């Protein structure tokens, strides 16, 4: 028994799963504490600044999310020595930065226009530059750590930088300055994410081992222009916009207080996604790794059933304890969100269902993952045309996400029926062939 337990513990996948799952739990917890402390201290106006800053950052970093996914897969699945392959990728990455360095400088020219364009205060708007620069630089090294399966390092770095971000909100909660302190610690958090990730990767690699960079560059270019990459990029961008564009638009065109109220509503909606997020990742692995269509369908079905019950429970909880929840987490300054809280569970459930379907079709490398990107322009136009009221934006989010979930369900059932007919036809032909052979 002890030998079996020791063998399981020494398994690389098991250890990585334990480290990563545990650190993810603490990171999510600290992120929520950050939001609640920032909301309580800064009030709706200040919290709208921070949440909108995060939305702009999330949208701008979509290319790095897709790039990181491919990078992790390529390093971990490399038939070459992984250290050599990663070292060669690093050399290619640094050479590209040296060649295209001016692309990092050009956006600074538009700095004076950024506060007016985003409706953020100058300090918050200008903080986008260092946050994005460090995030883009750390994207390679963070992906490399995961591709090299250095799960303990990933976990420790993640906890450290998230805790550093939390310190900023905690100091403000204790009375030290205000939003400037939070911005400072956000920038420091991103800097240390880059610095520590780079130290771990460079310390793990051998500097004198490099493969042909021209061949590697050619392969990378082919990968970035492949059908699969385009589908993943476009669908990921669409999901990110659906989850963040409403916060950006509300901040741009609504009153500052309303923007803060809406940001808190959006956070409670996203809790559902974060709660079942690990299930989406596991489902993606099962669907990608299985060649059995029945297993893929069962994985999606079970995931949606779990989501259904999570949605029902969250709706009942938000509906019956709205005042308590708002008062406990955000304080009395956010009482205006109480009437809308139950609807946050509805939108959160539908958005999470969209994420499940999107993940399902991405894992199958299906063009049906492009359904959301195709219909998203309609959502964006309606977001501009609807009355500038919180209830109008909330209603639009619910109806749009519900319509797309229904469309996915119909297409899924249609494809399942079609697959069943093809399977039955193949079975009948095989039975007929066997009969003729026996005859």
Which tens digits make up the pLDDT trace of 133-180? Answer: 999 888 888 888 877 777 778 888 889 999 999 999 999 999 888 899
Q: Give the residue-averaged pLDDT of 217-233.
A: 71
The reply to whether 112 and 249 lie within a common domain is no
The reply to whether 200 and 237 lie within a common domain is no
- Establish if 280 belongs to a structural domain: yes
**Final residue belonging to a domain, choices 180, 213, 246:** 213
The reply to whether 278 and 396 lie within a common domain is yes
pLDDT at residue 212 greater than cutoff 60: no
Answer yes or no: are the C-beta atoms of 376 and 300 closer than 8 Å. no
pLDDT at residue 210 greater than cutoff 70: no
**Domain count along the chain:** 2
- C-alpha dihedral, 133 to 136 to 137 to 143, nearest 10°: 160
Predicted confidence at residue 131, as pLDDT, reads 92
- Establish if 220 belongs to a structural domain: no
Answer yes or no: are the C-beta atoms of 86 and 211 closer than 8 Å. no
- Establish if 17 belongs to a structural domain: yes
Tens-digit pLDDT profile for residues 352-378: 888 888 877 877 777 888 888 999 999
Q: Give the residue-averaged pLDDT of 247-258.
A: 91
Whether the full predicted model's pTM is greater than 0.75, yes or no, is: yes
The reply to whether 148 and 275 lie within a common domain is no
- Establish if 208 belongs to a structural domain: yes
Compute the C-alpha angle 349/407/58, nearest 5°.
50
pLDDT at residue 9 greater than cutoff 50: no
Helix, strand, coil percentages, rounded to 5, for the chain: 90, 0, 10
C-alpha 212/C-alpha 122 separation (Å) is 46
| Helix (H) or strand (E) segment spanning residue 118 | helix 114-118
Most confident of 57-66, 291-300, 381-390: 381-390
The reply to whether 144 and 49 lie within a common domain is yes
The reply to whether 205 and 237 lie within a common domain is no
- Establish if 414 belongs to a structural domain: yes
**Final residue belonging to a domain, choices 213, 240, 259:** 213
Tens-digit pLDDT profile for residues 281-338: 555 555 544 455 666 666 677 777 878 888 898 899 999 999 998 988 888 889 899 9
- Establish if 299 belongs to a structural domain: yes
Residue 233 sits in which domain range? Answer: 226-423
The reply to whether 199 and 334 lie within a common domain is no
The reply to whether 188 and 108 lie within a common domain is yes
The reply to whether 204 and 243 lie within a common domain is no
Predicted confidence at residue 161, as pLDDT, reads 92
- Establish if 162 belongs to a structural domain: yes
Name which of 9-18, 95-104, 265-274 the model is least confident about.
9-18
Answer yes or no: are the C-beta atoms of 88 and 206 closer than 8 Å. no
pLDDT at residue 14 greater than cutoff 80: no
The reply to whether 97 and 153 lie within a common domain is yes
The reply to whether 206 and 82 lie within a common domain is yes
Predicted confidence at residue 328, as pLDDT, reads 87
| Helices 341-363/256-289 angle, 10° precision | 30
Tens-digit pLDDT profile for residues 68-92: 767 766 676 655 567 777 777 777 7
Q: Give the residue-averaged pLDDT of 86-104.
A: 78
The reply to whether 104 and 236 lie within a common domain is no
- Establish if 304 belongs to a structural domain: yes
């Amino acid at each position: 028994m002890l030998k079996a337990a020791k063998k399981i513990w020494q398994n690389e996948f098991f250890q990585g799963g334990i480290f990563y799952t545990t650190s993810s739990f603490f990171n999510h917890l600290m992120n929520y504490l950050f939001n609640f402390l920032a909301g309580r201290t800064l009030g709706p106006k200040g919290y709208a600044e921070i949440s909108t800053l995060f939305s702009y950052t999330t949208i701008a970093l979509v290319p790095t999310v897709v790039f990181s996914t491919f990078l992790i897969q390529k390093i971990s699945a490399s038939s070459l020595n992984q250290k050599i392959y990663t070292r060669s990728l690093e050399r290619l990455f640094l050479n590209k930065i040296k060649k295209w360095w001016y692309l990092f400088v050009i956006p600074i020219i538009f700095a004076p226009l950024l506060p007016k364009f985003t409706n953020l205060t100058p300090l918050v708007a200008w903080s986008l530059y260092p946050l994005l620069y460090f995030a883009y630089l750390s994207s390679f090294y963070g992906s490399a750590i995961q591709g090299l399966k250095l799960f303990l390092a990933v976990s420790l770095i993640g906890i450290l930088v998230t805790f550093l971000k939390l310190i900023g909100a905690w100091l403000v909660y204790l009375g030290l300055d205000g939003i400037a302190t939070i911005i400072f610690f956000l920038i420091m958090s991103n800097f240390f994410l880059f610095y520590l990730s780079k130290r771990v990767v460079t310390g793990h690699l051998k500097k004198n081992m490099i493969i042909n960079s021209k061949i590697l560059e050619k392969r990378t270019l082919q990968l970035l222009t492949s059908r699969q990459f385009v589908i993943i990029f476009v669908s990921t961008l669409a999901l990110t916009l659906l989850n963040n564009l409403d916060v950006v638009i509300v901040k741009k065109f609504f009153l500052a207080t309303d923007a803060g109220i809406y940001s808190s509503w959006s956070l409670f909606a996203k809790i559902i996604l974060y709660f079942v997020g690990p299930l989406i990742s596991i489902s993606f692995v099962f669907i990608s790794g299985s060649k059995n269509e029945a297993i893929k369908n069962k994985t999606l079905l079970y995931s949606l059933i779990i989501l259904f019950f999570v949605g029902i429970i969250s709706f009942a909880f938000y509906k019956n304890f709205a005042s308590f929840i708002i008062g406990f987490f955000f304080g009395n300054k956010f009482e205006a969100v109480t009437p809308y809280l139950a609807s946050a569970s509805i939108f959160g459930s539908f958005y999470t269902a969209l994420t499940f379907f999107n993940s399902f079709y991405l894992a199958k490398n299906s063009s049906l993952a492009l359904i959301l990107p195709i219909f998203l322009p309609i959502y964006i136009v309606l977001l501009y045309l609807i009355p500038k009221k919180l209830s109008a934006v909330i209603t639009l989010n619910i109806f749009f996400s519900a319509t797309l979930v229904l469309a996915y369900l119909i297409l899924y059932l249609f494809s399942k029926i079609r697959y069943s007919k093809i399977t039955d036809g193949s079975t009948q032909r095989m039975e007929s062939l066997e009969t003729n052979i026996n005859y």
